[in-house]
Amino acid sequence: MKKHFLIFLLCCSTSFLQAQVQTKTIDAVTDTAGIAPPPKPTDIKAFCDCIAIRETPAATDKEYFEYGFEKRLMDFAGADVTKESRESATAKISKWWDKYKTLFRCNSSTFNVEKGSILKFAIVQGFEPFLETIVGTYQMDINYIDPADNRNVLDYVNDELAKTIKTQGATHPKVNILKEYKQLLENLGCTPSRPVNN
């Protein structure tokens, strides 16, 4: 009787350990599978273009989005606000952005940073709603360093402001515009990564 009982305990212990290992394996797969693949270069180019033209959403998407870039972000992150809660979709976008945000770099004849961040590009294009929406609605980080010039978006605005004052004078119209962008970025929680000279 005692022998059968010991065999029973051994079998139970083995099953429990196997269940524990299986659970940890499933958790690990879930963690790594929670982020969609990185964007393709053609996708990034199209995203920059949609910022430049202030793309509006398709008629079928206007119920859910105010701007075209929102639907693109949803698709990138594998989120679908028509099938899941806004909170769940936002979490996917934020997590996906944290992993791939430095890949979003744009080029333009009017943009003075070669392959500069999409954030700086939005500033140059005068598209404030992009910055307000990605932070306010989708909780995306804008405080990161751009590999193109080792500056974050507020560093860029501060440098442009100082340069404009020096070369054009403090009364130049661009000065007030840059000051407004600086205030906007600070209100959104952005901080300079280095001392400010202006």
Q: Which of the residue ranges 1-15, 61-75, 153-167 would you say has the lowest mean pLDDT?
A: 1-15
Measured distance CA(123)–CA(109) in Å, rounded: 14
Does residue 197 or residue 68 have the better pLDDT?
68
Give the alpha-carbon dihedral of 76, 185, 142, 117, to 10 degrees.
80
Collect contacts of 37-40 with beta carbons under 8 A, ≥24 apart. Answer: 38/99, 38/100, 38/103, 39/76, 39/100, 39/103, 39/104
89 contacts: CB under 8 Å, gap ≥ 6: 74, 77, 79, 80, 81
Please tell me the predicted confidence (pLDDT) of residue 195: 78
Residue 197 confidence class, pLDDT cut points 50, 70, 90: low
Give this prediction's pTM: 0.81
